[in-house]
Amino acid sequence: MMKTRSILPLSVLGLLGLCALVASASGAPAEPAPLVVHQGDRLLIPADSPLRKRIVVADVGTQVGPHGLSTPATVEADPSRVVAILPPLTGRLLELKVGLGDSVRRGQPLAVISSPDFGQAQEDAVKAADALDLANRSLARARGVMTVGANATKDIEAAESAQRQALAEDRRARDRLATLAGGAHADAHAHGLVVLAPTAGTVTALNVGIGAYLNDATAPLMTVSGLDRVWITAQVPEQLLGGIAPGQAVAVTLAAYPGQTLHGKVARVSPVLEPDTRRVKVRIPFDNADGRLKPNMFATAVFAAPQAATVTVPTSALLMNNDSTTVLVEVAPWTFTRRTVELGSEDNETVRIIGGLKRGDRIVTRGGVLLND
């Protein structure tokens, strides 16, 4: 019997042989090239590493001149132009002539108080004036009698003494009336004390209502503030106080007016720190004839603080490692080492470096996080 064998087509045999050849020649799959090579404390980026296209290296720069110290601030009325209107005497509030937020002129009636004490003071002044008039006439009559020799010297002396006492009493009564009235006048019949505005301004506080009995001479009826000139009061932290001085330029922005900047100068630096905030109040005056700056508005004050030339780096160059801040310094082409730096003030996207870098150093300014392990 004849033996037969299976014969595969030539094309199939060729394919099988090719596959075997490829399998025997390739061996294990090739490993990819490393992105970074660690050489002790150095990091080398190989020439074929794609990181070279994602990392930016630049020279360290320097900054000369002033930089901005930014602090929170608020608008305040000028303290020297804020007047608390106190009741001159105890009594009942009969009428309010103004309301909260009203503008007033100097001498304008503000309120009417029913005050028996003021009526008594008026009556005392009238009596004193009448007694003085009588004493003056008595003295004149005594002197006339004496000229014809019908009056003794002691009578003249008594008339002169009475006139001096009446004059003193009249002066005392008028002074007391003027002190009690202050910036006020009264209706002598109704004993109504009309309180007048001692200065022009705006009623910024109103503390009483009609019909209230006023028995505390230290409790203000209202407050009148001159708002045509106001303070921007900045709260400066204790550690920044050394860079602030009277006459220093300040740029102020307000939340109420975005995109607008006011320019002024420091007028006063408070001699004491606020005990609860550990901040110092720094006041910058501004004219406010249009009334746009309203007390208690929020603001930001930026002081121009001079500084010597210092090394600066972009904030994107800083890397956090545990509790320290570092940068990657180039010590050879595409070879970097980590260095700890001490930070100073920050202006926008730039940070001053107090220690750890010098002018001429080259550092990774962008993409350093890819090397931060």
pLDDT in tens, 332-343: 999 999 999 998
Kindly tell me the burial class for residue 41, based on how many C-beta atoms sit within 10 Å of its own C-beta (0-12, 13-18, 19 or more).
Answer: exposed
Q: Indicate the residue among 255, 275, 305 that finishes a domain.
A: 305
Q: How remote is the C-alpha of 226 from its chain's centroid?
A: 19
Among 270, 305, 340, identify where a domain stops.
305
Domain that holds residue 364: 42-65+309-371
Predicted model pTM: 0.53
Task: Identify the pLDDT of residue 25.
Answer: 47
DSSP 302-319: EEEE----EEEEEGGG-E
Burial class, 49, CB count within 10 angstroms (exposed 0-12 / middle 13-18 / buried 19+):
middle
Q: What is the pLDDT of residue 154?
A: 80
Q: Are residues 333 and 293 in the same domain?
A: no
Whose CA is closest to 71, among 300, 262, 344?
A: 300
In a domain, 47, yes or no: yes
Are residues 291 and 325 located together in one domain of the fold?
no
> What would the DSSP string read from start to end of 226-259?
--SEEEEEEEEEGGGGGG--TT-EEEEEETTSTT
The tokens 């019997």 sit on which residue? 1
Count of CB atoms within 10 A of residue 267's CB? 15
**What pLDDT does residue 215 have?**
87
Which of the listed ranges 110-124, 172-186, 253-267, 302-316 does the model predict with the highest average pLDDT?
253-267
- Residues constituting the chain: 373
Distance (Å, whole) CA 55 – CA 325: 19
Same domain? For 246 and 293 the reply is yes
Residue 2 predicted with pLDDT over 80 = no
